[in-house]
Structure 1
């Protein structure tokens, strides 16, 4: 069987390329239902059969249509493979499973692998966020400690300016210390709440 048919033929010889449905199927080594499926998909016919009328197909036109279909399908497959590779790279990163490896897996094995990769990515993202939160908490603690140290010097300076007694200075220092500690605790609570919310969101994803 071949799809390479002469397309330049005298008009009087054109009829030799016209075949019925069964003959066309035999020529291309397929079944008659397959040829009917081609026709439904747009394969050209010289005469459409039905109600006692037989089909008539030009073998040259059928061969040309099949070549066009094969080229279109090859291009579609190439585009589909490119999209799959790009999607795999975007979702799973540069360490994603190569397509040649995926081709050797069953659909279930590939689904299991992708599920494992997704979980690994989520865990890595969560770990990174926790590390960032811990670093932020350390920085916050350092800043608050420095701020607390400077604020606790204020009562002594005010006492000197206003002539407070040692008892008055100590009372103000204790009150300011309580306020500073409350502020540190409030900041830590906000940070912890944000960290908990991030963890819950990642687990729900």
Structure 2
């Protein structure tokens, strides 16, 4: 590795070395060059690419700042598109709610907790007794594993046939509209 010292700090390196120093891939370095990364010498026909590490570091800092400021200073058209996109997403979410295709996350989490509790209870309640009977007097480890896996599969099959999550677990709670109109005798 030939390293040349330059006047403005840093050192001259080739593309591979620049990629290694910055922890990026060669295509990333090529992308940087297309976006204006400073080059000491362009490569080609037996000449290696040369970059000054200090100049590249300064350019990267400026490039990162520019990207960050572009993200925060969107123009009017970009803001209108973002607003339109957000409004569209809200309408689609409202439609999915109206079609009862979504439920609030907390209700889904409660239903899943209940379902996993039933799976756990099914395994803990049925497995030990069933396995103990089948393994009584067994000493072959392979046979023991087969029996336990068979029993787990049977219990999971029974659980898969049962409704672990009921519709009532996922009913959308509608606080805004009074669904209890019939309770007043109307």
Structure 1 and Structure 2 fold alike (TM over 0.5): no
Q: Which has the larger radius of gyration?
A: 1
TM-score (normalizing by structure 2): 0.40
TM-score (normalizing by structure 1): 0.36
